[in-house]
Structure 1
Amino acid sequence: MKKVIKVISGGLLVLLISAFTVNATKSNGYKIGDIAEDFSLKNIDGKMVSMADYNDAKGFIITFTCNTCPYAVMYEDRIIELNKKYAPKGYPVIAIMPNNIDVKPGDALPEMKKRAGEKGFNFPYLIDESQAVYPKFGATKTPHIFVLEKTSKGNVVKYIGAIDDNYKDASAVTTKYVEAAVDALLNGKEVPQPETKAIGCSIKV
């Protein structure tokens, strides 16, 4: 009898561990409809920035990006244009650099500041120094985009994924995922394609 109990207990333990592993995998990062927690991160000018600072915002285009990823570099001009187009409409870009700078020293704050100056970034470029923010979002790539809508309940995740469908050539893009998402929200409609696959470099930990 004792052996049977031990076997059953062992089986239950395996099942519980398996269930926990599956649930943990499923719960990694925000999903569409989740409320995104605010953050307070250092900008390239040394000031701390959070979403709460934007009193007049209707939402946000949160962009995880960096200096050293070729994909991120190819998208820099398009991110600048996104902010130029949508910040006046209430959806500013907030860029966050998530990489471990020990692994990627080219993404350290002085290098971020230099790159932002060279490219003329018109949005905050924040560093996730403790690497505590990007896992909450579930970001895995640079670039990785999260469009949030500000509501009475908080900042609701409405879109997750890529900026558009052609990282190589902006002129060859056929579907602008982020623009479609923000345009829909501005018009009180549902986002037509709330999730796409982010294409880019893996975040360095």
Structure 2
Amino acid sequence: MTLEESARELERGDLAPGFELPDTDGDTRSIDDFADNKALLVTFTCNHCPYAQAKFDTLNRLADDYGNVAVVGINPNDADEYPDDSFERMQALVDEGTIEYDAYLRDESQDVARAYGAVCTPDPFLFKSTDDGFELAYHGRLDDAHGPDEQPSGEPGFEMAGAIESVLAGVPVDHEFRPSRGCSIKWH
């Protein structure tokens, strides 16, 4: 397992790169499908990485706590080399209730992960809704628990929850960039 830390490619205020990706329910989802939400949390994640698995419940809770924020997971990993990251396994995780957030999408081409500058799983990006589309408000970790067996110093996801609350209140997110840490994305 190769560990990586997220790196900044998109800057605050940059528009979210668009996407059209298959969802586990068989539909194709685009960024426009989430336009009615006040914010969009896009997290590059996968099925097999213990760092990503450790944040499944956190992402589910954020989706549950903030109904006007769309929480979307995107799996870009090479499923040929890592069969646990297959679309079928994604569907199973949703069907069994392990993943309950708004959408779990498959980025088979890895073009979306590249457009966002994602490098690890999980790698979260929080966008605020504007007249021009979704603008990056914060890119960084969900909380300060770096390892899969570590507990955060506050509620799981507390750093991202604070960023979400800033976005919903219409004020700038004052968090400095705090990189997420996890398994490297498994590129083709």
TM-score normalised by structure 2 residue count:
0.87
2:107 corresponds to: 128
Contact 1:160 1:194 in 2 (8 A): no
For residues 15-53 of structure 1, the C-alpha deviation after alignment (integer angstroms, 9 at most, x for no partner) is xxxxxxxxxxxxx83222211122110001110011211
Contact 1:166 1:173 in 2 (8 A): no
2:137 corresponds to: 158
Bigger relative contact order, structure 1 or 2 (CA pairs below 8 A, ≥6 apart): 2
1:149 corresponds to: 128
Distance 1:35 1:155 in 2: 6
Distance 2:54 2:13 in 1: 29
- 1:44-55 equivalences under 5 Å are 44-55=24-35
AA at the equivalent of 2:21: L
Q: What do you get for the CA RMSD once the two structures are aligned? A: 1.9
Contact 1:32 1:194 in 2 (8 A): no
AA at the equivalent of 1:97: N
**Among 28, 32, 37, the residue aligned to 2:12:** 32
Contact 1:64 1:95 in 2 (8 A): yes
2:170 corresponds to: 188
Distance 2:118 2:168 in 1: 24
1:176 corresponds to: 158
**Change in 2 beyond 3 A, CA 1:55/1:155:** closer
**Change in 2 beyond 3 A, CA 1:158/1:55:** closer
AA at the equivalent of 1:178: M
AA at the equivalent of 1:173: G
**Among 75, 78, 92, the residue aligned to 2:58:** 78
Contact 1:141 1:201 in 2 (8 A): yes
Higher strand residue share: 2
For residues 118-141 of structure 1, the C-alpha deviation after alignment (integer angstroms, 9 at most, x for no partner) is 215232110001110011111111
Query: What secondary structure does 1:164 align onto?
Result: coil
For residues 131-181 of structure 1, the C-alpha deviation after alignment (integer angstroms, 9 at most, x for no partner) is 100111111110010000111122101111111001434464378221111
* Matched residues, number: 177
For residues 181-204 of structure 1, the C-alpha deviation after alignment (integer angstroms, 9 at most, x for no partner) is 110111111102042111111000
Unpaired segments ≥5 residues, structure 2: 1-7
2:83 corresponds to: 105
1:14 corresponds to: none
Distance 2:137 2:62 in 1: 17
Query: What secondary structure does 1:130 align onto?
Result: coil
AA at the equivalent of 2:182: G
Higher helix residue share: 1
